């Protein structure tokens, strides 16, 4: 009889560490304990470099309305036709 009590205590100790959670049918799984929340909540995103109302007065602009700085930025464009067109325009 003494052995059966000792065996039952070992089972209880083992079950505490690895307790299985019973889930009901059709319910979503809860997120894991180490999950990271990646949601960003913001009222407005302000990009000062890409302002629509950027003033180009006093600067030399091309036929397309681009300044020299913008034209030089397009020389490193990913599209080969755009790079070629800008280099032909600058020459």
45 vs 2, which has greater pLDDT? 45
67 pLDDT exceeds 80?
Answer: yes
Q: Above 80 in pLDDT, residue 15? A: no
Q: What average pLDDT does this structure show over 59-86? A: 87
Domain boundaries, the chain: 59-91
Percentage of residues in the chain with pLDDT exceeding 70? 71
In this prediction, residue 32 carries a pLDDT of 85
Q: Kindly report the pTM of this predicted structure.
A: 0.38
| HEC-encoded secondary structure of the chain | CHHHHHHHHHHHHHHHHCCCCCCCCCCCCCCCCCCCCCCCCCCCCCCHHHCCCCCCCCCCECCCCCEHHHHHHHHHCCCHHHHHHHHHHHC
């Amino acid at each position: 009889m003494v052995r059966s009590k000792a065996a039952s205590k070992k089972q209880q100790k083992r079950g505490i560490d690895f307790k299985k959670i019973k889930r009901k049918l059709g319910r979503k799984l809860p997120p894991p304990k180490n999950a990271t929340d990646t949601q960003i909540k913001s009222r407005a995103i302000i990009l000062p470099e890409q302002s629509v109302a950027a003033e180009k007065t006093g600067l030399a602009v091309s036929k397309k309305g681009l300044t020299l700085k913008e034209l030089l930025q397009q020389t490193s464009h990913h599209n080969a036709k755009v790079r070629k067109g800008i280099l032909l325009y600058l020459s």
